[in-house]
Structure 1
């Protein structure tokens, strides 16, 4: 998950987020965001080594799709819980689940156990981000909100730059186990920094707010359908039918979590969210297989494989910075259209490089192009979401934007997992994965023309 702040107006508050009153909670909250982001990016780098060590190729995609799917549940539960009881309890519970997931994954003797740990990580990380947003709203004055969200954004950028390389080096020097276990020793101090500022926030919610059991139920159903898709797709005989049924159930369930008309690409906000979800699906559906391809086919080290992701992250950050400085000179609608096209170009270039067995540098360049596209379009879809939201539905639409990211990526990874395992013996699974990701990215580029609201 990324936090885009370019469209948020800035102000000059009397005190800053690093002043005495806010120093420790700022450092601690940003550290928690940093560690969640680091873990997400680090696992992408080391998963080929994990898969080889645990003989877990069949569950490779599920290790990525699972946390994204369960994260949707974590977001829904934490948001509703925070509305009722304040952010403290959901924050503690989310951090606890995240730590449990790290420990289970780090000590996993089999791929099945590791995937279970990843499920817990997803629940915790999804809830953690929502709880932190509420903490910001309760602790910081409004004029400091742009600054703290900029801090969160920076906490995502830094792991993008160093996470893949550090994870690769840790795997080579020690073991992939420490990519999970090492983070545990950092999460606890980060939480302790936040604790003092949480005093007095317990019970600050509105106890009359009902539990949104319907919405929570739909989030669980969507997650279960995505997880089922990973498990039934390669079953002999009925596998394809069950997989298709799982996709249908997932799409029906997610409709309740998104504005009306999203899956029909209705012009305006629904298409903004759909395009964002499709672009994320195409990008991340391919990205998790980039290190796998490099280590499997090109026999490069995990550190070098991680550098390919670092290039994409640098391009994402640079493009986001450029579009932010351009401001109104570059319309949000045009930025989304250009960005989605760049994602298509990057994924297609990776596909062509795989087909032709091109040099490693071509794949790295491909991911730089794709990363630049995401950096250009992602902040502007956030801006468009806010522009098209009324005060009474800003919370729902912001949540829907996050769900579109996570669900789109999770569903794409589930499908690519089915393709990869199904073609592992009969064909080239990497070509199939990149081809599917290219089709999804192309759909985002085609539908990008509908993000502009209908003229009255």
Structure 2
């Protein structure tokens, strides 16, 4: 094991926390700005790809970067992650259309795939076992601060400045983190020599990409029974089989499959996959409902997400105490019930109920996420030895990210199909299509539609989002069923 110089630990910790802040704030700040971005760039059909692209490359690279850090060291991988994240932010801010923005988000996702796991690893390297509990509190506070400030900053940039500032803000903060790690973080080069499972990573990218395309575009630009969809389905199944076979056959797999034989890990990971879908469903589409259907500002839309962001870190803190008193299983069950309550609130959401009801639903989702995520990490880390703890924890992060990526695609497909069906059944002129929904997201756009078209489009968007929220409720219910399968004692 390499020896890390720790005399500059406060500066290293500050740099790591700053880099984590960039990746953590990304989700809520972009979600809040998305209605304005789509209103400016057009392409409502591609709405979900802005999130799916980021999550796709994030999920596909997170385990790979963990292995690369073992081979080449934490520092070069971390610096690469920050640099790629900033490059993606610059291209996003300058994007002239949705296609370029999606490409830039792919780059950002790769950067985030290096940032999050390596940040946690660096902290583990430079602090002793006794110190880590306190430091983990600092890292948790980053999520809390970013979650609270993200929607507010997103709303401010959209209402006062313009949406590109959502991405420009990453540059000065990223440069500070880059400088801090460059000058203060020193590590020896005597690193453990292990193979890098590049083949496994490629199979993951192929499998997830093909499935995402099927879910987002199936029934839209590409018919369900077309040769393209059938070919992509075959590609998905083939690459998934190839990945599983490859992981079983090599000595140092990217995702050790034997971990799934442990009940604590198996059911925690499956539930994290489902809660990842719930999380992206709320953060991606709630601003569109508040702005497009309720006709409120981006700042108000940000507020409805902020309550989830407040509930999560508070619940995570409480979960740490609850786990010690009543165990991880009961704590997880309480979190699952909170997710169901949030799902019920969202399923009953309507324009008349107002943003406060939307904020209440977000709060319960945040509480549920905080309780379950903390409980899962505790149960997973208690179920394995020290040698497997990092990869077991990374596998849970991987499953939640994959869930978010697929959730963005699946729920986006549900929304698009429902809105298009509503538009066709209303007999609107051919010039009115799914992309016309862009105009609902700004006051000027709504006024340009005319009262009848505006009403029909709002009803269509409301109907589509209602289907999304029914889906969230079903996902919450299934999550609780898997939580109940968690062992009462560790394996």
Residues 1:111 and 2:98 aligned together: yes
Residues 1:435 and 2:420 aligned together: no
Contact 2:28 2:283 in 1 (8 A): no
| Paired residues, number | 434
Contact 2:89 2:168 in 1 (8 A): yes
Contact 2:281 2:411 in 1 (8 A): yes
Post-superposition offset of 1:314:
1.2
Post-superposition offset of 1:416:
0.9
- Mapped to 1, the partners of 2:225 and 2:137 lie a distance apart of 45
Residue of structure 1 aligned with 2:195, choices 210, 213, 221? 210
Contact 2:56 2:208 in 1 (8 A): yes
Go from structure 1 to structure 2 and tell me whether the alpha carbon gap of 1:432 and 1:389 turns closer, same or farther (over 3 Å shift): same
Post-superposition offset of 1:222:
3.5
SS in 2 for 1:237: coil
- Mapped to 1, the partners of 2:41 and 2:70 lie a distance apart of 41
Higher mean C-alpha deviation, range 445-454 or range 330-339: 445-454
- Runs of at least 5 residues in structure 2 that lack an aligned partner in the other structure: 1-5, 248-254, 423-462
Post-superposition offset of 1:425:
2.1
Residue of structure 2 aligned with 1:358, choices 342, 353, 362? 353
Post-superposition offset of 1:393:
2.1
Other-structure match for 2:430: none
- Structure label with greater radius of gyration: 2
Higher share in helix: 2
* Residue deviations 1:327-374 (CA, integer Å, cap 9, x gap): 4222210111121121122122112113x7522221111111111111
Post-superposition offset of 1:317:
2.1
Other-structure match for 1:95: 82
Residues 1:194 and 2:185 aligned together: no
Post-superposition offset of 1:21:
3.2
- Mapped to 2, the partners of 1:360 and 1:338 lie a distance apart of 25
Residues 1:348 and 2:344 aligned together: yes
Contact 1:385 1:398 in 2 (8 A): yes
Other-structure match for 2:442: none
Other-structure match for 2:3: none
Post-superposition offset of 1:236:
3.9
* Displaced runs of 4 or more, over 6 A: none
Residue of structure 2 aligned with 1:268, choices 260, 264, 269? 264
Post-superposition offset of 1:180:
0.2
Residues 1:452 and 2:452 aligned together: no
What's the TM-score, normalizing by structure 2? Answer: 0.82
Contact 1:221 1:250 in 2 (8 A): yes
Other-structure match for 1:394: 389
Residues 1:301 and 2:297 aligned together: yes
Post-superposition offset of 1:49:
0.9
Go from structure 1 to structure 2 and tell me whether the alpha carbon gap of 1:58 and 1:351 turns closer, same or farther (over 3 Å shift): same
Post-superposition offset of 1:326:
3.4
* Residue deviations 1:245-267 (CA, integer Å, cap 9, x gap): 677568657865374595xx984
Residue of structure 2 aligned with 1:286, choices 270, 282, 287? 282
* Structure 1 segment 34-433 matched on structure 2, within 5 A: 34-201=21-188, 203-206=189-192, 208-229=193-214, 232-233=217-218, 234-238=220-224, 241-242=229-230, 257=255, 259=257, 267-354=263-350, 357-427=352-422, 428-433=463-468
Higher mean C-alpha deviation, range 82-91 or range 326-335: 326-335
What's the TM-score, normalizing by structure 1? Answer: 0.88
Higher mean C-alpha deviation, range 138-147 or range 20-29: 138-147
Contact 1:139 1:197 in 2 (8 A): no
SS in 2 for 1:359: helix
Q: Calculate the aligned-residue CA RMSD, in Å.
A: 2.6
Contact 1:25 1:197 in 2 (8 A): yes
Post-superposition offset of 1:147:
2.9
Post-superposition offset of 1:90:
0.9
- Runs of at least 5 residues in structure 1 that lack an aligned partner in the other structure: 1-18
Post-superposition offset of 1:377:
1.3
Go from structure 1 to structure 2 and tell me whether the alpha carbon gap of 1:358 and 1:254 turns closer, same or farther (over 3 Å shift): farther
Post-superposition offset of 1:455:
8.7
SS in 2 for 1:349: helix
- Mapped to 1, the partners of 2:272 and 2:141 lie a distance apart of 21
Go from structure 1 to structure 2 and tell me whether the alpha carbon gap of 1:303 and 1:26 turns closer, same or farther (over 3 Å shift): same
Contact 2:336 2:479 in 1 (8 A): yes
